[in-house]
Amino acid sequence: MMWRALAVAGAVVLLLALGAGAWMISRGPVAPAVVRSSDVEAPPAPTSHITATLFFGDPGGRGLIARRVDVPLGASVAEQGEAILLAALGTRPPGTTPVVPVGTRVRAFYLDGTGTGFVDLSAEVRTKHTGGSFAEALTVAAVVNAVTSNLPSVARVRLLVEGREVETLAGHLDLAEPFLPDLSLVVGRPAP
């Protein structure tokens, strides 16, 4: 009885294999896919850049140093502002120190149509701040100056943290009103 069941199962498997083979033969040879030049990914076009003036800490702790940095070109003023801020908070040039706490992220940059730019930063700008009135002034000036120096349509900057208005970053500067550019804290000329 067991032999009979095995013979039937073997016959079924053989018939399935023969059927599958016949089906593949009836399809004919499979032609290789034709690759058109439009199907091949072209290398990305080089990204256009602007040279922006960004502000970093002077190693001697005397103020800000202006540095010229290549920044990707944005499609709009808001996108350009965000690219400038990302560069300002990114890797700093040699011979400078951070004035914005490391780990601070740009959450958003937008404009209100009256010349005010809004910079929304992550909570690290407050929670990791070293404190002190001068250090806080350098942080604010570095962010405000980076935006206003490179975007002529932005006259003043309002700082937000995690999408909200805050009274201060580290207990010293009142953030209730937008800031105008302040180049008085810059101690050196822009380096190439």
pLDDT beyond 80 at 35:
no
pLDDT beyond 80 at 7:
no
Tokens, residue 51: 């040279």
At residue 81, the pLDDT reads 97
Question: In degrees rounded to 5, what are phi and psi of residue 70?
Answer: -75, 130
At residue 37, the pLDDT reads 44
Q: Which residues contact 135 (CB under 8 A, 6 or more apart)?
A: 99, 129, 170
pLDDT beyond 80 at 123:
yes
Q: Angle, to 10 degrees, between the axis of helix 133-150 and the axis of helix 77-89?
A: 140
Mean pLDDT over residues 103-117, rounded? Answer: 95
Mean pLDDT over residues 137-155, rounded? Answer: 97
Least confident of 26-30, 90-94, 130-134, 183-187: 26-30
pLDDT band at 31 (very low <50, low <70, confident <90, very high): very low
The predicted model scores a pTM of: 0.74
Mean pLDDT of the chain: 84
pLDDT beyond 50 at 36:
no
Mean pLDDT over residues 46-73, rounded? Answer: 93
At residue 30, the pLDDT reads 46
